[in-house]
């Protein structure tokens, strides 16, 4: 077994390391710590942050790839190893959630030679398993994991606050802590119970049914989390430098620099976004198709297409933030401390680093969080129309694209679309609720005196 690093794996782990380093640096500021404490003082923000953290954790588990050449299984991730019982099994065709037979009748020859249309039993389930017993074991396992994790966190908080373990637990239960830890514990408990229940029952049933080719829908939904999170997070990595550089430059240097940058993003905004992205994706597909020797596996080709899609979305989504930063920089450049810095001969690059950039970071943070949910939905739409990620890659857009014809069947196959909708809805809703709280706290104009 050897560790294999895809391009998107390196980018997402590098971004996580950079965010950890940035968080350590900015946490030294008392004002920054106070602002983020205000963000998480909201129960809604705390719940949303935990849900987002859960999605990111699954995406990171799916971003650690290794190759088992001796087993002949090719490229796998840690999430694939955890869900091996779902990844390796495949039925013949559709089956409903928790079903014991296929969804449609098939023509079968009986022992007496007669022919009949019968429901064929599923091959990779355990009909002898008791759903009640398996559910009890799953809920007990989730409760034990929650108890251990809560005890560790309470012990850490008791040492930070220099109180006893019992006193810290009592304060959390009575709601006397600054942050709503009781709400956080309840959210973690519900998530652990739900995931333990789904995981345990997935050994005996297809919890969310199977698709047209017999693949497990729960496995596809969980694997699609990585695609949605990477599209939302890595696109920001591409968009931010361009928006920061051009937006601040336009607002501070003015003159012909401002004119050129305004012409650039005005021209880019005048082109329909979907057509521009579709044209770029089609050019990329032709290039990849003409050079198959660049990739040693299907996974590497799909990963490269995902990386290109991230770059294309990033290069077409920076204009809104650039316009905001230009306007904010124009305002800040007229404030007294910037004017005084110019009078004393301070260089413009020093002014940008010391005065402009720190005073526009709240706009950057708000825009990043707000754009995340939009980018997740954009991937679903682009994959639905056929210009998104590779068809072999798991994504909610591909699931919706495959399910659009299933809705017209009789009887209707609804569970693929339902699963993609639920997983995507929870992620986007959590991102929107969290971004609303971030905007309320960090945006000075939203704060009432």
- As a three-state string, the secondary structure of 184-216 is HHHHHHHHHHHHHHHHHHCCCCCCCCECCCCCE
Residue 164 Ramachandran class (φ > 0 left, ψ -120 to 50 alpha, else beta) = beta
Low-confidence ranges of the chain (pLDDT < 70): 69-73, 443-449
Residue with tokens 């490269």: 304
117: CB partners within 8 A, 6+ apart: 105, 106, 107, 108
What's the pLDDT at 73? 64
The residue count for the chain: 449
Domain 225-446 architecture: Orthogonal Bundle (1.10)
Nearest Cα residue to 362 out of 447, 245, 253, 258 = 447
What's the pLDDT at 446? 56
Q: Using CA atoms, how far apart are residues 81 and 58, in angstroms rounded to an integer?
A: 13
232: CB partners within 8 A, 6+ apart: 371, 372, 373, 375, 376, 431
Whether 44 contacts 183, CB under 8 Å: no
Whether 317 contacts 301, CB under 8 Å: no
Whether 217 contacts 210, CB under 8 Å: yes
What's the pLDDT at 222? 94
Whether 232 contacts 15, CB under 8 Å: no
pLDDT digits (tens, 9 = 90+) for 259-286: 999 999 888 888 887 788 888 878 887 8
Nearest Cα residue to 288 out of 311, 316, 308 = 308
Q: CB atoms < 10 A from the CB of 110, how many?
A: 9
What's the pLDDT at 168? 92
Q: What are phi and psi of 194, to 5 degrees?
A: -65, -45
What's the pLDDT at 444? 59
What's the pLDDT at 440? 83
């Amino acid at each position: 077994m050897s560790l294999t690093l895809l391009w998107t794996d390196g980018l997402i782990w590098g971004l996580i390391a950079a965010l950890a380093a940035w968080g350590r640096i900015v946490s030294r500021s008392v004002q920054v710590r106070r602002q983020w404490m205000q963000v998480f003082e909201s129960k809604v923000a705390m719940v949303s942050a935990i849900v987002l953290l859960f999605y990111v954790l699954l995406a990171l588990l799916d971003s650690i790839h290794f190759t088992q050449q001796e087993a002949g299984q090719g490229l796998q991730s840690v999430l694939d190893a955890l869900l091996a019982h779902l990844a390796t099994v495949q039925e013949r065709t559709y089956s409903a959630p928790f079903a014991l037979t296929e969804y449609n009748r098939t023509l079968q020859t009986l022992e007496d030679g007669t022919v009949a249309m019968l429901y064929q039993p599923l091959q990779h389930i355990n009909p002898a398993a008791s759903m009640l017993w398996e559910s009890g074991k799953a809920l007990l396992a989730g409760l034990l994991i929650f108890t251990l994790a809560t005890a560790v966190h309470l012990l850490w908080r008791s040492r930070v606050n220099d109180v006893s373990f019992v006193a810290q637990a009592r304060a959390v239960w009575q709601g006397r802590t600054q942050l709503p830890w009781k709400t956080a514990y309840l959210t973690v408990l519900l998530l652990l119970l739900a995931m333990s229940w789904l995981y345990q029952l997935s050994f005996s049933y297809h919890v969310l049914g199977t698709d047209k080719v017999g693949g497990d829908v729960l496995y596809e939904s969980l694997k699609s989390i990585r695609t949605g999170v990477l599209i939302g997070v890595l696109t920001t990595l591409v968009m931010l430098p361009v928006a920061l550089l051009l937006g601040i430059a336009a607002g501070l240097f003015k003159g012909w620099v401002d004119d050129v940058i305004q012409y650039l993003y005005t021209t880019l905004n005048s082109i329909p976004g979907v057509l521009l992205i579709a044209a770029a994706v089609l050019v990329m597909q032709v290039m990849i198709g003409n050079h198959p020797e660049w990739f040693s596996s299907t996974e590497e080709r799909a990963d490269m297409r995902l990386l290109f899609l991230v770059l294309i979305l990033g290069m077409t989504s920076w204009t809104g933030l650039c316009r905001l930063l230009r306007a904010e920089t124009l305002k800040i450049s007229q404030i007294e401390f910037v004017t005084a810095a110019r009078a004393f001969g301070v260089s413009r690059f020093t002014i940008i680093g010391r005065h402009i950039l720190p005073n526009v970071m709240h706009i950057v943070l708000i825009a990043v969080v707000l754009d995340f949910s939009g980018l997740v939905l954009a991937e679903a739409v682009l994959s639905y129309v056929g210009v998104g990620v590779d068809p072999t890659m798991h994504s909610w857009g591909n699931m919706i694209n495959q399910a659009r014809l299933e809705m017209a069947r009789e009887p209707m196959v609804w569970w693929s679309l339902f699963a993609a909708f639920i997983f995507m809805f929870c992620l986007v809703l959590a991102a929107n609720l969290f971004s609303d709280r971030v905007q309320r706290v960090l945006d000075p104009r939203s704060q009432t005196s």
